[in-house]
Amino acid sequence: MGEKGKKSKTMSKSPSAAKEHKEQLERLQKKDPEFYQYLQQYGKDLLTFDDEDEDFDDDAEVDMEDAENQLDDETYQHDIPEEEEKPSKNVLTTEMVNSWCKSIREDEKLSAVHSIMKAFRTACHYGDDTGTDSSAKFAVMSSSVFNKIMLFTLSEMDRILRKLLNLPASGGKKETIIELMNTKQWKNYNHLVKSYLGNALHVLNQMTDTKMISFTLRRLQYSSVFLAAFPSLLRKYIKVALHFWGTGGDALPVVSFLFLRDLCVRLGSDCLDECFRGIYKAYVLNCHFVNASKLQHIQFLANCVIELIRVDLPTAYQHAFVFIRQLAMLLRDALNMKTKEAYRKVYEWKFINCLELWTGAICTYSSEADFRPLAYPLTQIISGVARLVPTARYFPLRLRCVKMLNRISAATGTFIPVSMLLLDMLEMKELNRPPTGGVGKAVDLRTTLKASKPILKTRAFQEACVISVVEELAEHLAQWSYSVAFFELSFIPAVRLRSFCKCTKVERFRKEMRHLIRKIEANDEFTNERRASVTFLPNDNAATSFLEDEKKMGTSPLSQYVTTLRQRAQQRNDSMMESSVLVGEKSAVFGKKLDQIPDSDEEDDIKNDDGATVFSSSWLPGGDSRANLPKEEEKKKKKKKKKKKKKGMEQDEGVGDDEDVVEDLVLSSDEDEDEDEEDTAEEDGNEEQLGGSRQQNKKQKPKNLSNKNVRPHHHAKNNKSKKRKRAKLN
């Protein structure tokens, strides 16, 4: 093939070949004069024989002369009439693609591989501004041809490249590619690998359909090990995958995360640092605001970060330490400076969600020596955040911090004194006095950091806070309900709970507390009966095995009581979830989505069916649909903003659970607050934001009414003056 290609190339440059070509053009002029006239007007370079080889060679991306010659032979060896050979040279047809695919599958021809790769490059760059690249400029293909090229290349190219490079059918590590780079096979075929990965990355940035992107990423995941040889491409792939992970819909976030995780597993230190930093940054960008519909999606993103940490715990520890230290520095600034801006940086969703993320990571890897040391600094930060502004308006944030501390305590088996944080809440007047703001709307503490003043006085807010205090205090005491020191540990909480029962004027709160007190007393009897028969001292190691069997079975009164409280809390949370978006309902559950992703063997069986379904549209890169899409989305977003603002002005009792906080952030916060609390948490929950807007509206109403009263007066004066002028004229 190489000798034949060289002969054809030399012949094409000889005078006899030029004369033969001119005769072919003359026959074409006689047979189809209209088409020949069209070529003279719009394609003069096609009629110039000397420029043909240069234009054709410029489009090829390979460096080896044999590959170019083989590609030339393969392109010209199709059953096309002699007269139409020249004008249709740059038109990709279904017959050409099918012949290349057949040659690769049956005969494994290298020339067909070069041809399909050239077609793949043309498909990926279709519609691009090619400038002086005349061969690409005149390349034409239909959507069906584009779909065939993409489906075959993505499905088969990994197998072809591995066979050419003598690699295993799947898998591989960075060390394998480093050894391969010194071989003759790599020098001969590395341009194919780079062309495949580079062009696939280019078309990924052009795609708009999530299913198409997901299929492309799944197929590229098999070839991700080759990125070890191309660091610049590796960085670009990480950036694209992180973007799809944070913003994609349907199964795309899961597919993108699996692609990133595969890169970290196979390439190791080459991409671990960049992936850890990038995925944490993407998580922070996607958790600025929280509402009922985003809760599960944010939890899914956090689960992905925690799963990626598992790849290399020592490296992840270094990054986690830096990120947790950044949170500590923000808290230190708030404690020292005591300014509104410093408080705002701590009391915002971004900061709290980062605490939630590292709490989940430490709870997951609490048994690992590499991660366990981070529990202490994180606990100190969470405790400091809970006590930063000890007012009733920040009860939701304090309860969230207590929940995190309880999780760390349960995972690490370390005692954390959280009871004082909860009992101090009960002594504030907002919880032990009857509400003065009416019943109010149900409050979802999971989506609230700061309560507005009107909501603070409602019965719904009081009930939500008191019930949460009971649940978290019971969780804390249940963790130590099998301790030999439980009686001493629960003595002060029991005394303060009894004091609350005497002081509160709300009967339903008194009933809840008495129930908890009875469970604490029952647990005291449960531990004291067994403690009376022990012979070890309190500082003995044998104290750690006290009631160990009962703890495994969960037979203590407080453990059983906590089980019922968890069921009640789950029912309450489910009732508040009136609606959920697609990404929150399906993509957020990490375990379920992973089960839906087929194994490698299963995917090999169904990949053609999936690909045929995905690549069945009329979409082509560089189309106008992509350019028009952002404008249409902007129009829809503007309409939604206007509707939400109108709804917010009409509502009387606060924002619904599923309303987007981002839109409400435009509204200002409460104007009648004290100056030292004003704007402390400008980016907090929906109810606070709307509460401020309602107060502004109430203040603006008299002004509007006065304006309305003035306008008729001006109109009356104008009418009188007009009548006088008419009277004078008459």
Range in 250-254, 289-293, 587-591 the model is least confident about: 587-591
The region, left, alpha or beta by phi > 0 then psi within -120 to 50, assigned to residue 289 is beta
Domain residue extents for the chain: 417-577
Q: How far is CA 293 from CA 254, 283, 580, in A?
A: 18, 17, 5
**Maximum Cα interatomic distance, the chain, rounded to a whole number of Å:** 120
| Whether pLDDT at 703 is above 90 | no
pLDDT band at residue 383 using 50, 70 and 90 as cut-offs: very high
Mean pLDDT score, 248-268: 92
Average pLDDT, the chain: 76
Q: Please give the structure tokens belonging to residue 439.
A: 């019943």
Look at the pTM and tell me if it is higher than 0.85: no
**Three-class SS of residue 140?**
strand
| Whether pLDDT at 277 is above 90 | yes
DSSP state of 374: G
Range in 411-415, 563-567, 569-573 the model is least confident about: 569-573
Answer yes or no: are the C-beta atoms of 516 and 474 closer than 8 Å.
Answer: yes
How far apart are alpha carbons 717 and 563 in whole angstroms? Answer: 76
How far apart are alpha carbons 399 and 465 in whole angstroms? Answer: 8
pLDDT band at residue 354 using 50, 70 and 90 as cut-offs: very high
**Burial of 641 per CB tally in 10 Å (0-12, 13-18, 19+):** middle
The whole-number pLDDT of residue 613 equals: 79
Cα four-point dihedral sign 596, 264, 209, 612: negative
Angle at 610 (CA atoms; ends 606, 613), nearest 5 degrees: 145
| Whether pLDDT at 623 is above 90 | no
User: What percent of the chain has a predicted confidence (pLDDT) above 90?
Assistant: 44
What would the DSSP string read from start to end of 497-552? HHHHHHH---HHHHHHHHHHHHHHHHHHHHHHHHHTT--S-TTSGGGGGTTHHHHH
Q: How far is CA 90 from CA 47, 96, 136, 139, 507, in A?
A: 14, 11, 8, 5, 85
Answer yes or no: are the C-beta atoms of 682 and 344 closer than 8 Å.
Answer: yes
How far apart are alpha carbons 620 and 140 in whole angstroms? Answer: 11
Q: How far is CA 629 from CA 207, 209, 276, 442, 575, in A?
A: 12, 12, 32, 38, 36
Phi, psi of 682, rounded to the nearest 5 degrees: -70, -25
Alpha-carbon dihedral of residues 710, 713, 714, 718, nearest 10 degrees? 170
The whole-number pLDDT of residue 506 equals: 86
Mean pLDDT score, 133-140: 49
The whole-number pLDDT of residue 596 equals: 42
pLDDT band at residue 402 using 50, 70 and 90 as cut-offs: very high
CA terminus-to-terminus distance, the chain: 108
pLDDT band at residue 614 using 50, 70 and 90 as cut-offs: confident
Centre a 10 Å sphere on the Cβ of residue 453 and count the other Cβ atoms it contains: 17
The whole-number pLDDT of residue 706 equals: 38
Range in 14-28, 251-265, 298-312, 562-576 the model is least confident about: 14-28
| Whether pLDDT at 705 is above 80 | no
pLDDT tens-digit map of 68-86: 344 444 444 433 333 333 4
The whole-number pLDDT of residue 140 equals: 65
Range in 92-96, 557-561, 719-723 the model is least confident about: 719-723
Centre a 10 Å sphere on the Cβ of residue 128 and count the other Cβ atoms it contains: 15
Mean pLDDT score, 263-269: 91
Range in 283-287, 422-426, 679-683 the model is least confident about: 679-683
Which position has the token pair 């009581």? 561
Mean pLDDT score, 668-690: 39
How far apart are alpha carbons 71 and 112 in whole angstroms? Answer: 7
How far apart are alpha carbons 611 and 246 in whole angstroms? Answer: 24
Q: How far is CA 532 from CA 181, 185, 349, 431, 535, in A?
A: 73, 78, 49, 39, 9
What would the DSSP string read from start to end of 71-103? HHHHHH-S---GGGTTTTTTB--HHHHHHHHHI
Centre a 10 Å sphere on the Cβ of residue 613 and count the other Cβ atoms it contains: 11
Mean pLDDT score, 127-133: 59
The whole-number pLDDT of residue 636 equals: 52
Range with top average pLDDT, 48-57, 340-349, 659-668, 714-723: 340-349
The whole-number pLDDT of residue 643 equals: 53
| CA-closest candidate to residue 447, choices 397, 385, 408, 407 | 397
**Helix 184-204 crosses helix 143-164 at what angle (to 10 degrees)?**
150
